[in-house]
Amino acid sequence: MATTQDSPFTGWRSPLFCDRSTLDLLYGCGATIFLCCWTAVHLNVPADDEGPLSRTLRKVKCMLICLVAPESIAWCAVDELWGARIYVKDKNKADGVVKTLAVVQILRFALGLLGRACWAGP
């Protein structure tokens, strides 16, 4: 049975068949995290006067926030979802009112025609 005194401490080394070092692993992880954050950040539709450089800088800023605090990006997405649901609910209520008014106007028009036809006589 080997003890720790038999072998000197040499640190982590990859197996002989693998040429990846610690820096290679860190670069790979960093690139993966960078690309995941870059694709996960979906910004709102830019304004008409916003140029491509301004859009890219805005996305880079949000991506850096995502690298430091990913939960902030998730919270923004949840906040936008709640806002969209409230907007849809309000729009559906407004659509219901508009449809009701349209039906009332159609009935009023139909009753007006029916009244004229009945009271006009032969």
User: How far is 53 from 49, CA to CA, in rounded Å?
Assistant: 12
| Residue 5 DSSP class | T
CA 69, CA 35: separation in Å to the nearest integer?
16
State the DSSP H helix or E strand holding residue 11, giving kind and residue range, or none if neither: none
Report yes or no on whether pTM surpasses 0.95. no
Judge contact between 37 and 66, C-beta under 8 A: yes
Q: What is the pLDDT of residues 10-35, one digit of tens each?
A: 666 656 656 777 788 888 888 888 88
Contact at 8 Å (CB) between 62 and 42? no
Q: What is the pLDDT of residues 42-80, one digit of tens each?
A: 777 788 888 999 988 988 888 888 888 888 888 877 888
Question: How many other C-beta atoms are found inside a 10 Å radius of the C-beta of residue 76?
Answer: 17
